[in-house]
Amino acid sequence: MATFVLAGKTDCPHYAKAELLADSLQRCLPNFRIHKISVLPHAWKEWLEDTCTRNGWKHEQSPLVWRELVDQGGKAMLLGGFSDFLEHCQDYYSVTSDMPTDIMLSVASENLETKMNSIVEEQHRVSLIKPLHIWLSSALSPTGHLLIPNLLSAEVFPNTSAISLHLLNLEGKEEQLQWLRMETENLALPLLYQVTIHTDLEQAFTEADVILLQDECWSDDSDTEDEEEMKKKVKRISDRYREYGQLIDTRANREVKVIVSGDSFVNLRCSLLLDNVNLIDSNQFVTVATQLENEARAIIARKLKVRTSDVTHVIVWGNISGSFYIDLQRAKVFNYDGPIKGPAYFSQPAKNILQERKWLETDLQELVRCQRAAVASKTCRAAPMSLANGILEVLKAWNGICGPDEIFSLGVLCPGDYNLPDGIVLSVPVIFTDRKWSVLSDVTREDNLKERLEIAASELRQEKELGSE
């Protein structure tokens, strides 16, 4: 099998003559194959230099002809230009070309016109694609690796035909991001339109439809943080998130969904974003408490000897990465093996089963805190699987994939009727309807809960003041 590659400028008469000769040979000879590469005149010189440098050739004119020897275990073999190709055809196939000059020029003109038309058609096709732009910060983190394949799924983004994924990692090396991009492209997922990588904020959040902000990492972070180190960290976070807020306000789409997640100063980070946006509705910014919800559900499930999924509607109030409170006033338990039993859809209020007030008010709260600390100490970071799962659950609900009665705990700008200071982001129970969230109204806020919310609000005010020093 003889496989030749014919490359040339689209307006080159000799390329046109060689092209017709090659087509004639391919029609007549069963073992002759030709691959054609037409290059626009303005791009020809650079293309030719790159190709010759890569293969160790010397050639200056159009066309360029070589033979592929891959099937014989060798690299490409340069044949030369038009005269060399013509001579080869005469010697090996006893075929030549006597095309008049006027026809050569006519074919060359047609080649150029065809190439230009194909470029216009491709540009038009691309212009019709309106991808969803997703920006993922700290993309090199373990949570980022778990999120990427799920973000490119119709299960999370229904009615989406294409997704542009933008991987941002300010502290990471570009080479690492290049490998992550390659790995993402190798997934060959049908929704993936393109992947871009970013190690600075030059283009950050441009045209963003979804922004996922994870914990920030710095190369000089210490494992043990004294008071001075903590102040330094809060100051860094504050400076960065003020800048993030300004960039999101000016570059992102007005309906952008922003989710702040992680294990460190989550509510503070969301609050700083809101302080620096003017054009985007505050309802488009949330923090995720789903990880805490699920940790509490798992602890309760172990105590009651049921599955974690059998415990629902647990509420997290307060500061997600600080003073929070696990509330079971709406929680339900399915498949509990107690005195009262029913079919699979039958549930009982969790408080009716767990009647130990001390365990609910003290032990449960401490167990959730200890479990989170234990996971963080063993892995040196927030648990990536549960964190990624929490983010995806909220995204699905925000995109309309949840039941009408499902309750989520989200850190949002505190409602006015909570009688708390302005600009405070606290975790509260919400429901999603028509792809918008609203604070759950029919919940009881007893004096004990109000005191806890005031403590969380005070904690967040102190964090803000620390970041402003």
Q: Give the pLDDT confidence of 41-92 residue by residue, as tens digits.
A: 889 999 999 999 988 999 989 999 998 875 544 578 899 998 899 888 888 8
Query: pLDDT tens-digit profile of 354-407?
Result: 888 888 888 998 999 887 666 666 555 557 888 999 999 999 999 999 888 899
Residue 257 main-chain phi, psi, to 5 deg: -105, 120
For residue 459, how many C-alpha atoms fall within 13 Å in the half-sphere facing its CB? 19
For residues 319 and 324, give the distance between their C-alpha atoms in angstroms, rounded to a whole number: 5
Indicate whether 305 pLDDT > 70.
Answer: yes
Average pLDDT of the residues in 294-323: 93
For residues 418 and 424, give the distance between their C-alpha atoms in angstroms, rounded to a whole number: 11
DSSP per-residue codes, 47-93? HHHHHHHHHT----SS-EEEEE-GGGT---EEEESHHHHHHHHHHHH
pLDDT at 326: 94
pLDDT at 110: 78
Bridge partners, residue 96, by sequence: none
Indicate whether 190 pLDDT > 70.
Answer: yes
Indicate whether 451 pLDDT > 50.
Answer: yes
pLDDT at 391: 94
Structure tokens belonging to residue 41: 């005149």
Query: pLDDT tens-digit profile of 239-256?
Result: 999 999 999 999 999 999
Do 301 and 311 contact (CB within 8 A), yes or no?
yes
Residues 6+ apart with CB under 8 A from 120: none
Q: Which amino acid is at 468?
A: S
For residues 353 and 367, give the distance between their C-alpha atoms in angstroms, rounded to a whole number: 18
| 111-132: b (≥16 Cβ within 10 Å) or e | bbeebeeeeeeeeeeeeeeebb
CB atoms inside a 10 Å sphere around CB 421:
12
pLDDT at 301: 95
For residues 265 and 319, give the distance between their C-alpha atoms in angstroms, rounded to a whole number: 9
Q: If you average pLDDT over every residue of the chain, what do you get? A: 87
Do 253 and 209 contact (CB within 8 A), yes or no?
yes
For residues 82 and 14, give the distance between their C-alpha atoms in angstroms, rounded to a whole number: 6
| 225-261: b (≥16 Cβ within 10 Å) or e | eeeeeeebbbeebbebbbebbebbbebbbeebbbbbb
What is the DSSP secondary structure assignment for residue 309, as one 8-state letter? G
pLDDT at 73: 47
Query: pLDDT tens-digit profile of 13-29?
Result: 888 888 888 888 888 88
Average pLDDT of the residues in 131-156: 93
Nearest one of 304, 330, 302, 306 to 316, comparing CA atoms:
330
Q: Using CA atoms in the order 359, 363, 369, 375, what is the torsion angle rounded to 10 degrees? A: -100
Residue 266 main-chain phi, psi, to 5 deg: -65, -50
Highest mean pLDDT among 43-52, 112-121, 215-224: 43-52
Q: Using CA atoms in the order 181, 182, 183, 184, what is the torsion angle rounded to 10 degrees? A: 50
pLDDT at 104: 64
Do 458 and 322 contact (CB within 8 A), yes or no?
no
> β-strand 311-312 against 332-334: which pairing, if any?
antiparallel
pLDDT at 216: 81
For residues 322 and 58, give the distance between their C-alpha atoms in angstroms, rounded to a whole number: 67
User: Sign (positive/negative) of CA torsion 341, 347, 352, 354?
Assistant: positive
123-132, 283-292, 336-345, range with the lowest pLDDT: 123-132
